[in-house]
Amino acid sequence: MSPPPLYRCAAAPRPSAAPTRVCLLGATGSLGRQTVELVERYPQRLRLVALAAHSRVDELAAAVQRLAAADPAADPPWVAVFDAAAHARAQAVPALRGRLLPPGEAGLLAAAALPEAEVVVNALVGAAGLAPTLAAVRRGARLALANKESLVVGGELVRAAAAAAGAVVLPVDSEHAAIAQALAGRAWDEVETLILTASGGPFRDWPAERVREATREDVLRHPTWRMGPKVTVDSATLMNKGLEVIEAHHLFGMPWSAIEVVVHPDSIVHSLVGFRDGSYLAQLGAPDMRVPLLYALAAESHWPLPIPRLDWVAVGALRFEAPDPQRFPCLRLARQAAEAGGRAPIVLNAANEVAVAALLAGRLRFSEIPGLIERSLAAVPGGPVRDLAEALAVDQEARRIAAA
């Protein structure tokens, strides 16, 4: 029997009078920088007690200095630097030196496990986010989850850990945050379907022959969202939406057949929930990741945010299309892996990460990504996954096969 869904309607605690203490993993990425910006904006409500990044020491130091200026009474945050050489450089930076956690994964886990951090924002990229996710939920922290790969690689493990510890998991992906808002206060047995919207990426209306010739620069030119390079590539292949189907299953406990994907190039409707009486609720807004991020940080409250409001007259009609399976084969591969379960989603994610890295390095064409993933899925035997060590072993095996 599967553990219960990760998201529980209206389960998050309301903010207290004291600032909510936040640990931020992935502080120098796109979402991490926006998190720092929000903490600066709300110094009386939010306080960063830990920051973690891979290697951008100068950016970490600048963030620590800005936070000190915004909230002079706060203690400086703990800092984790994953890369060993960058960690050594950080020891010479006055703003970081006295608050450094160990290098490597040990530092990430120490940050996620800090007892004073009430909320852990996991904005790491890739399967590396799974172990810190488990560290956060095992101590019962509120997890603001932007690292969808945690649930793709270890969804059952995370669900079991969260259920045992009573942890609250709030989604930061715009689609899943939209679903959470539509579900607020609803009974689970009223829900019939979840509909994830996809922008369609930069190649939605390109001829197939032209897509085969797409360059790295074409792939990274997303029409509506500002995101990191990995997520932007996944948006172009629609793998991002395939991973989000798996994420939605673990967050909301819906069967695969009840989770749909539609292409919505306007990126205004961020997702919909369909109910048993034929009605739908949707969350709409401008495409800005600070909205779902702040919703999770604010414990499912809507705080003031000075972003552009939609001009509904200018918006006019909203467009919706079925995803083209010939143009987006990665969506089909993701669904197949999701329904197979066990090792298959781990292999899917690992092969995709290898493919995206090769594309960004100029060693793989965009049109070659689906074939690499499909061959990797065929090469790794299926079967269940019992624990974190086994999940990580399968991940490494799949990466080796995909790289070869």
pLDDT (tens digit, 9 = 90+) per residue, 224-277?
656 678 888 898 899 999 999 999 999 999 999 999 999 999 999 999 999 999
221/355 same-domain check: yes
Would you say residue 289 has pLDDT above 90? Answer: yes
Contacts of 344 (CB under 8 A, 6+ apart): 336, 337, 338, 377, 382
Would you say residue 16 has pLDDT above 80? Answer: no
Q: What is the mean pLDDT of residues 15-33?
A: 90
197/339 same-domain check: yes
Determine, yes or no, domain membership for 7.
no
150/199 same-domain check: no
Determine, yes or no, domain membership for 305.
no
Cα–Cα nearest to 328, from 291, 355, 367, 302: 367
Q: What is the mean pLDDT of residues 85-108?
A: 94
Determine, yes or no, domain membership for 13.
no
Determine, yes or no, domain membership for 41.
yes
Query: Percent of the chain scored above 70 by pLDDT?
Result: 96
- Total number of domains constituting the chain: 2
Q: What is the mean pLDDT of residues 307-332?
A: 92
105/226 same-domain check: no
pLDDT value at position 102?
A: 96
Would you say residue 216 has pLDDT above 90? Answer: no
Cα–Cα nearest to 328, from 263, 384, 404, 250: 263
> pLDDT for 63-88, tens place per residue?
999 999 999 989 999 999 999 999 99
Determine, yes or no, domain membership for 298.
no
The domain boundary residue, chosen from 137, 154, 172: 172
Range of the domain at 237: 177-288+310-403
The CA distance from 379 to 398, in Å, is 8
54/162 same-domain check: yes
Query: Percent of the chain scored above 90 by pLDDT?
Result: 79
Instruction: Please provide residue 327's backbone torsions phi and psi, each rounded to the nearest 5 degrees.
Output: -80, -30
pLDDT value at position 227?
A: 67
CATH assignment of the domain containing 125? 3.40.50.720
Would you say residue 140 has pLDDT above 60? Answer: yes
pLDDT value at position 326?
A: 84
272/389 same-domain check: yes
Would you say residue 200 has pLDDT above 90? Answer: no
394/254 same-domain check: yes
Determine, yes or no, domain membership for 301.
no
CA 345 to chain centre: 16
Determine, yes or no, domain membership for 244.
yes
65/199 same-domain check: no
Confidence bin at 1 (pLDDT 50/70/90):
low
Confidence bin at 33 (pLDDT 50/70/90):
very high
Would you say residue 8 has pLDDT above 90? Answer: no
The domain boundary residue, chosen from 139, 155, 172: 172
166/226 same-domain check: no
156/277 same-domain check: no
Q: What is the mean pLDDT of residues 103-129?
A: 95
Determine, yes or no, domain membership for 296.
no
The domain boundary residue, chosen from 172, 205, 227: 172
Confidence bin at 101 (pLDDT 50/70/90):
very high
Using CA atoms, how far residue 86 sits from 163, 237, 329, in Å, is: 37, 33, 39
CATH assignment of the domain containing 221? 1.10.1740.10
